[in-house]
Structure 1
Amino acid sequence: MRRRRVWPAWARPSDIADLLRLSGPIAVSRAAMMLMGLTDVIVLGQNAPGELPFVLNSWLPIGVSLGLTMGLLMGVSVLTAELAGVGDGHNSGRIFRRGIKFSLWFGAILTAVILLIASPMFRLFGFEEHVAEGTASVTRILAIGLIGHMLTHVAGSYLEALRRPLIVTAIMYTGVLINLVIDLAVVAGWWGMPKLGADGVAIATTGTRWGLVIFFLLAVWKLTPAFKPSEAGPEGEAKHQFSVGYGTAVSNVAEWGGFNSTFIIATLISTAVNTIYGMAIHVIGFCFMAFLGLGTATSVRVAEAYGRKNSDQVREASRLGVVATVLIGVLLGALVWMFQEPLASILIKSDAEVGGVAIHAALVPIIGFTSVVIVFDGLQNVASMAMRAQNVIWPPTFIHLGSYFILMLPLAWYFGMVRGGGAMGMMQAVLIASVFAGLMQTLMLEMKAARRLKPTRRPVI
C-alpha cells in the first residue's frame, strides 16, 4: 500500500475550518471596536472635521495605557485556553478574577495620572492653544472610561478563550449601536441635543464602554465558571499569568505609542495633515480588526496545542495563521484599492476644508496607498501573537520596538516634515516600518515555533 503524509495544517480542511470558525466571530467582534472609532470619525468628519485632531491626539496617553494593560492581561486568554485544552476549563475562574482585580486597581492609577497630566502634556508638545486645550478636554473624558475598557477586555478575552466568541460579537455590536446613537445626539445634534464636537465623541466612547461592562459581566456570570469556586492553581501561576504579557505590553506600548505619536507629528505639520493622515490610519485600523481575529484565534489554537505539548500541532497552527493572514490581507488590500474614492467620501464631505486644504481630494490617493500596508501590518500581529502563545515573549517585543520607535517615528518626521511629504510622506514611513515588522516577525516565528517542545512523530497513512 502506498504511504503518504497527511496534509499540513495550512492545507487541511479540518484545521482551516477550525481557524475560521474561531477567528470569524472574533474578527467581527474586533471590527465592532474599530467600527465605533470609524463611526466617531465619520460623524465628526461630517460635522466638525477641524476637531478631528483633538480626538486623534488624545489617543496617545489613552492608547498607550490601553496597550500596556491589554498586554499585561494577555494571560487571561492564554492560561484559560491552556486549561481548556487539557479539559480543566471549569477551574479557570481564578484566572478571570485575577484579571478583574488587576483592572480595577491598575486602571484607577492610570486614570488619575492621565487626568493630572493631560493639559500640561499637550501644551508641552507645542500645539496651538486651542488644539492643546481641545485635545486635553477629550483626553480627560476618555480617561473616565479607561477602567471600563479594561474590564470589557478581560471578560471578552475570557469568553473567547472558552470558545464563546459569538457572545462577545453580539455584545460588541450592541455597543456599536449605543455609540452611534450617542454620536448622533451629541456630535451631530439630533433630537435637539447640543453639538459638542470632539467632546461629544469622547462622551459617546466612555458612555458606551461602561454600558458594555454590564452586558459582559452578566454574560460571564451566566455562561462561564468565572464566579464559581475553583481549585487553587499551581505555585507561581499568578506570576506566570501576568509575565506572559510582559513582552506584549512593551510591544503594545511601542506599536500603539509609535502610531499615536505620528498624530503628534502630523499636527505639528498642520491640522489638515493630521486630519488626512488620521482618516487613512482608520482605514488600516478597520482592516486590522480581521488580523486581530486571526491572531487571537491562532494564539488560542497554538496555546491549546502547547498545553498538550504537541510540537507538530503548535508549528502547524502557527503556519496556518500566517498563510491565512497573507490571503486575507491581499483580499482586503485589493478591496481598499478598488474603493479608495468611495471610502474617502464616507469619511468626509467632498467639499470639506481644514486650514484651507481640500481634504477629500488629498485623502483619496493616501487611502489607496494603505492597501500595500495592510498585508504586512497583519503579518506582524498574527506572527507575534502566535509566538507569545508558546511563551516566546521578548523577540517579538524587540522587533516592535525597532519597527515603530527606532524606524517609523524618525522616518515619519523626515518624510512628512523635513522633506515636506505631508500625510503621504508619513504613510510611506508606516509602510517601511510595517514591512520590516511583518517580515521579521514571520521569520522569527518560523525559527522559534515549537522549539521548546520535544517533537512528536507525524502520523502516516
Structure 2
Amino acid sequence: MMTTQTRDTLKELLNLAWPVVLARIGIMTMGLTDAIVVGHYASRELAYHSLAWAPSSVVLTTAVGLMMGVQIVTARLRGEGRHGEIGAVLRRGMVYALQIGIASMLALSIFGPWVMQSVHFGEGLGEGASGPLVVFALSMPFYLVSVAAQFFLEGLSKPKPGMWAMWVANGVNIGLNLLLVPDLPGLGFDGAIASAWATFGARLALAVFLVIYIVRLPEAKAWNLWVKPARDRVTEREQVKVGVGAGASNFFEVGGFAAMTLIAGLLGANETASWAIVINMSAIVFMLPMGLSSATGVLVGRAYGARDRAGVMRAGLVGIGVVAALALVVALVIWPTSELLVRIYTLDPALVAIAAPALVLATLFFVADGIQVVAAQANRAAGDVWWPSIMHFVSYVLIMMPIGWVLAHRMGVDGLVWAVIIASLVSGALLTGRFLRVARRLP
C-alpha cells in the first residue's frame, strides 16, 4: 500500500514533471518539424540535415549537461533554506553559458565542415551537410543562455514559463521552416541549410523570452540576482562538478548515437535518412523520461539539501517507477502504428520499408532508456557525480558503438537499433543499482 509520504512525492513529481516533459517535447518538436518539412521537400536534404545534426548534437547535448549544475544546485540551496544565494547560481550559469556557447560555436564552425568532408560518406553527403552544420553552430550561445534560464526556473519548481517559452519558439521555428525551406522569399538557399536558419531564429527567440521573464520576476531582488555575490568556492565547485559530470554523461551517450548516425551514413543515403527518422521519433519519446528525470533531480536535490535520506530514496524510486510505467505505455502505442508514424516524415517507399520495422524494434529499448536517464539524474542530485558518467561510458561507448558497427554491416539499420537495446539495458541496470547503494549510504 502506498504511504502518505510516497503519495505526496508522486503528486509533486507529476506536478513538476508535466510542464518539463512538454518543454522537452518542444525541443524535439523543433527537430521533428525540421525533419518533416525538409523530408517532404527532398529526401537527400533530409540526409544532409541528419548528418549535420549528428556532430552538432554531440556538442550541444554535452554543453547542456555542463549547465545541469544550475538546476541541481538551485534545488539544493532551496532545500537548505539559502534563498539569498540563489541569484548567484544563475549569474554563474549565464557566464558559463556564454563561455561554453562561444567555444562550442567556434569549434563546430572550424572543425565541423572539415570532418564532414574528410569522412568518405559518398554521394556528396558530407559537402551537403557542412553548410547546415555551421548554421547550427552559430545558434549555440543563444541556446545555452536559454538552457541556463530554464534550468534555473526548474530548480525553483517553476517549470511552466520554460514550457510556454519553448512552444513560442516552436511557433517561430514552424513559421520560418515553411517560409525558408522552399525559399519562398527568394534568398538563394533552401532545404537543410534553410531549416538550420529556422532553428537559429527559434533559439534566439527562446533565449530572449526566458531572460526577460526572469529579470521581471518580483523575487529577483530576494534572490540577490542584481547583487554581485561574495565568492563561495564550495558552491561554485559543486555547480561546476555537477555540470561536468552531466556533460560527460551526455557526451558519451549522444556521442555514441552520433557514431550510429555516421555508421548509417556509410551504408547509404536511404539508410541515413531511415535511421534519422527512427532516432528522431525515439528522441521525441525520450523527452518524456528527460522531463521526469529533471523533476526527479529537483526533488532528490531538495531532499539531499535538507539532509533527508528517506526523502532522497523515495523521490528517486518514485521517479524510476513512474518513468518505467509511462515508457511501457508509449512503446505499446508506437509498436502497432510505426508505419503510419514513419509516413509522417516521408512517403518514399524505400525509406518506409527500412524505417517502419526499425521503429517497431526501437520500442524494445524505451523502458530501459527511460530508467537509465532518471536513475542517472537521481544519482547526481544525491551527490554521486562521477559514477553515472563512468556507467554511460561503458554502456554507450564500450558496448554500443562496436556492437553497432558489427551489426549494422550485417543487418543494416536494424543492427543499429539492436546495439541501442543492449546498451540501454546495461545502463539502466547499472544506474538503478548505483542509486540504491548511494541512497542507502547517505548520512
**TM > 0.5:** yes
Structure 2 CA distance for partners of 1:8 and 1:365, relative to 1, 3 Å:
farther
2:427 corresponding residue in structure 1: 437
Report SS of the residue matched to 2:383.
Answer: coil
Confirm or deny: 8 A CA contact 1:314 1:450 kept in the other structure.
Answer: no
For residues 271 and 128 of structure 1, the distance between their equivalents in structure 2, rounded to whole angstroms, comes to: 9
2:259 corresponding residue in structure 1: 261
Structure 2 counterpart of 1:240, one-letter code: E
Structure 2 CA distance for partners of 1:233 and 1:323, relative to 1, 3 Å:
farther
Structure 1 counterpart of 2:420, one-letter code: V
2:320 matched to 1:322? yes
2:366 corresponds, among 361, 374, 382, to 374
2:125 corresponding residue in structure 1: 131
Confirm or deny: 8 A CA contact 1:247 1:394 kept in the other structure.
Answer: yes
2:248 matched to 1:236? no
How much has 1:231 moved relative to structure 2?
5.3
For residues 386 and 233 of structure 1, the distance between their equivalents in structure 2, rounded to whole angstroms, comes to: 28
For residues 205 and 190 of structure 1, the distance between their equivalents in structure 2, rounded to whole angstroms, comes to: 17
Structure 2 counterpart of 1:367, one-letter code: L
2:412 corresponding residue in structure 1: 422
Q: How does 1:201-350 map to 2 (within 5 A)?
A: 201-223=195-217, 224-225=219-220, 227-229=225-227, 232=230, 234-349=232-347
For residues 196 and 235 of structure 1, the distance between their equivalents in structure 2, rounded to whole angstroms, comes to: 49
Confirm or deny: 8 A CA contact 1:185 1:193 kept in the other structure.
Answer: no
2:24 corresponds, among 27, 30, 39, to 30
For residues 447 and 220 of structure 1, the distance between their equivalents in structure 2, rounded to whole angstroms, comes to: 38
For residues 273 and 265 of structure 1, the distance between their equivalents in structure 2, rounded to whole angstroms, comes to: 9
Structure 2 CA distance for partners of 1:338 and 1:129, relative to 1, 3 Å:
closer
2:437 matched to 1:447? yes
For residues 305 and 240 of structure 1, the distance between their equivalents in structure 2, rounded to whole angstroms, comes to: 16
2:163 corresponds, among 165, 169, 177, to 169
How much has 1:89 moved relative to structure 2?
2.7
Instruction: State the Cα RMSD in Å.
Output: 1.8
For residues 92 and 302 of structure 1, the distance between their equivalents in structure 2, rounded to whole angstroms, comes to: 18
Task: Report Cα offsets for 1:227-272 as digits up to 9, x if no partner.
Answer: 3327536442212210122221111110011101111100001111
Confirm or deny: 8 A CA contact 1:399 1:441 kept in the other structure.
Answer: yes
Structure 2 CA distance for partners of 1:76 and 1:273, relative to 1, 3 Å:
same
How much has 1:127 moved relative to structure 2?
2.0
Report SS of the residue matched to 1:391.
Answer: coil
Task: Report Cα offsets for 1:276-318 as digits up to 9, x if no partner.
Answer: 1110111110011110110000000000000000100001111
1:458 corresponding residue in structure 2: none
For residues 54 and 99 of structure 1, the distance between their equivalents in structure 2, rounded to whole angstroms, comes to: 33
How much has 1:430 moved relative to structure 2?
1.0
Structure of greater Rg: 1
1:7 corresponds, among 3, 15, 19, to 3
How many pairs are equivalent?
439
Report SS of the residue matched to 2:441.
Answer: coil
More helix per residue: 1 or 2? 2
2:37 matched to 1:43? yes
How much has 1:129 moved relative to structure 2?
6.5
**Segment drifting more, 75-84 vs 56-65:** 56-65
1:67 corresponding residue in structure 2: 61
Structure 2 counterpart of 1:370, one-letter code: A
TM-score (norm 1): 0.91
How much has 1:52 moved relative to structure 2?
1.6
1:406 corresponding residue in structure 2: 398
Unaligned runs of 5+ in 1: 454-461
For residues 328 and 233 of structure 1, the distance between their equivalents in structure 2, rounded to whole angstroms, comes to: 43
Task: Report Cα offsets for 1:91-144 as digits up to 9, x if no partner.
Answer: 311110111111212321221122111222112221237211111111101000
Identity %, equivalent residues: 29
